[in-house]
Amino acid sequence: MPRPLVYYISGHGFGHASRSIEVVNALLALAPDLPIHIRTAAPRWLFDLTVRGPFVFDVLTTDPGVVQHDSLSLDAAETIRRADAYVRDLPVLAAREAEALRAVDAAFVMADIPPLALEAARLAGVPAMALGNFTWDWIFRDYPSGAAAADALGAVYRRGGRAFRLPLCGGFETIPEIIDLPLIARRARYAPAETRARLGLPGGRLALVSFGGYGVSGIDLDALSRTGGWSLLVSASVPFGPDRVPLAQVAARGALHPLDEPAMYAMGLRYEDVVAAVDVVVTKPGYGIISECAANDTALLYTDRGQFIEYGVLVREMPRYVRCAYLAQAEILTGHWQTALDQLIATPGPATRAAVDGAEVAARWILAQLN
């Protein structure tokens, strides 16, 4: 039996997990017998539904992430308080993880993109590789009082030594060896018409409202329901609207249609299938949703998301990858999306399609290190 690869994944949002799962699936496609251990605070159900092969799963908070009130606002002070605590505790946490790596006789460590994983691998003498589109030292340096945490984590990245860097990126100045990858993106397995038919989605223009598991508060559902010529799909289980109740508790009316995600997964469909089946995704910018829109030729209507330095990079770079337009957060909350949606759908897309085979490129490189 080969020695295992241990994959540490940030639990901040779904983007880290979704792209890392693509790498795991690419590894398993090329080396089905490779044992893979996943350590993350991301939800287990996401892995159970989408990893195409056996894996060992352990719950572990790998990094402090960014503290969010909802999908469009965050708490900068609490974010840095947790970052400072993480730095303070890192020597003990890394020593514990190094013991865990020795206990399973790990052959390789992947990190998307927690410093803890790289420090533990260094202590255990296990080769490691980071992967991401940003580094946490770059994120934290942008906040008041974040410099100390940024300096400490930058030193960890520097000792870690190397990383796969994805497009739509920022940071990485502290990592000496960089390998640039194409986009890693989840690609639909079903044609849009088939997905629409299987989910019973309405005909005509469709927009998917995708603000992640944190939800969005304060949206005027009455105004939104009057969006003409569009059906707006909203997860039935995500807090949404003025009272942040799941849409399943709000009578579907007008343009609004609940998307039953558990039923979708039960019939073998995935979120990327829905992304491909709609005309527009309405969202906050994040690597995961941008890459999925690029891979599935779907337009993106985005809004601002609070103080997060990655936002500026994503806004600057994403027109190269997707047809996109901005709608101010105030307009998002009033529910007046009609004009923006109509104008976006008439806008030409990028002149060329981006390569989205980053997972396969990464998997081949990793396996070459193991052989």
Please report, to the nearest 10 degrees, the dihedral formed by the alpha carbons of residues 220, 222, 224, 226 taken in order: -160
At residue 244 the predicted structure's pLDDT band, cuts being 50, 70 and 90, is very low
pTM given for the model: 0.92
Distances (CA, A) of 79 to 62, 64, 288, 308, 309: 15, 7, 21, 11, 13
> 231, 206 in Cβ contact below 8 A?
yes
pLDDT at 156 over 90: yes
Q: What is the pLDDT of residues 94-138, one digit of tens each?
A: 999 999 999 999 999 999 999 999 999 999 999 999 999 999 999
Distance of CA 179 to the CA centre of its chain: 20
The class (CATH top level) of 5-184+357-370 is: alpha beta
At residue 308 the predicted structure's pLDDT band, cuts being 50, 70 and 90, is confident
Q: So what's the pLDDT on residue 202?
A: 86
Q: So what's the pLDDT on residue 306?
A: 67
pLDDT at 245 over 60: no
Higher pLDDT, 18 or 220: 18
Distance of CA 164 to the CA centre of its chain: 16
Higher pLDDT, 244 or 327: 327
Is residue 302 packed enough to be buried (19+ CB in 10 Å), middle (13-18) or exposed (0-12)? buried
The domain spans of the chain are 5-184+357-370, 192-345
What CATH number should be reported for the domain whose range is 192-345?
3.40.50.2000
SS3 for 43? coil
Q: Do 5-184+357-370 and 192-345 agree at the fold level?
A: yes
Q: So what's the pLDDT on residue 263?
A: 86
User: Tokens at residue 75, please?
Assistant: 């708490």
Instruction: Identify the CA nearest to 178 among candidates 156, 167, 163, 160.
Output: 163
Q: What is the DSSP letter of 40?
A: E
